[in-house]
């Protein structure tokens, strides 16, 4: 079997070593790089992200990596954004004032409300294991042909975030999580592009299984 090749974008804003180890554990040949040519020419591309939306976008811009990433995305090869690496696929993010994103998915990244509809306090950030499922409006076939195919509904994954993507198009939502009375976006996707709010590299066997399916795309 031919070893699958993965490029992880190194721009100083991600939990890159654990991401690399998780993909290596599933048999991938992993290259960690901030070189534009390697990013644009990758077989599969991973964009991790930890921290604030605006800081991540600024880091990509300063390193001249926005256009190489967009060039890759136009190629229709498999792409995975993780945590803030997913959020910056949106039009904009509201964290610390508001910043433009990559604009691949219409909508904004908004703060998870600190109070539920009944006035109860909701702990922010959302940290811990939370089950995911296709959004309520989706059919049971929503995950067919995606990296989520074969994942049992309500499988828990590990989240650490205070903001959630709010896509304008319901069809862009691949998975939702229910946290303290609120639905948060767990994954978005369209064509070759997938983004996950949770950390598959920290999600044990379920996360590794998801990574393995991404490598099969």
Q: How far apart are CA 14 and CA 8, in angstroms?
A: 10
The answer to whether residue 83 is catalytic is yes
The helix (run of H) or strand (run of E) holding residue 105 is: strand 105-111
Is 47 in contact with 85 (CB distance < 8 Å)?
Answer: yes
Residue of 56, 95, 126, 199 marked catalytic:
199
Residue of 83, 95, 126, 161 marked catalytic: 83
Q: Give CA separation, 72 vs 23, 141, 189, in Å.
A: 19, 27, 16
Using the 8-state DSSP alphabet, how is residue 98 labeled?
Answer: -
- 199 noted as active-site residue: yes
- Phi/psi class of residue 64: alpha, beta or left (left: φ > 0; alpha: ψ in -120 to 50)? left
71 is catalytic: no
The catalytic residue among 20, 126, 161, 201 is: 201
The catalytic residue positions are 83, 199, 201
């Amino acid at each position: 079997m031919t070893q699958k090749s993965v490029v992880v974008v190194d721009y100083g804003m991600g939990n890159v070593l654990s991401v690399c180890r998780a993909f290596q554990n599933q048999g991938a040949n992993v290259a960690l790089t901030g070189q534009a040519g390697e990013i644009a020419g990758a077989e599969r591309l991973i964009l991790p992200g930890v921290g604030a939306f605006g800081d991540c976008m600024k880091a990509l811009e300063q390193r001249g990596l926005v256009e190489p990433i967009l060039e890759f995305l136009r190629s229709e090869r498999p792409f995975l954004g993780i945590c803030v690496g997913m959020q910056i696929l949106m039009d904009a993010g509201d964290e610390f004032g508001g910043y433009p994103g990559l604009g691949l998915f219409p909508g904004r990244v908004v703060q998870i409300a600190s109070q539920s509809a009944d006035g109860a306090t909701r702990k922010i950030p959302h940290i811990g294991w939370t089950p995911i499922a296709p959004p309520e409006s989706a059919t049971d076939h929503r995950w067919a042909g995606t990296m989520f195919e074969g994942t049992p509904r309500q499988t828990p994954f590990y989240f650490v975030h205070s903001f959630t993507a709010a896509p304008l198009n319901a069809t862009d939502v691949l998975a939702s999580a229910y946290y303290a009375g609120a639905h948060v976006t767990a994954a978005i996707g369209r064509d070759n592009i997938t983004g996950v709010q949770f950390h598959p590299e920290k999600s044990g066997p379920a996360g590794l299984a998801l990574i393995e399916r991404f490598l099969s795309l």
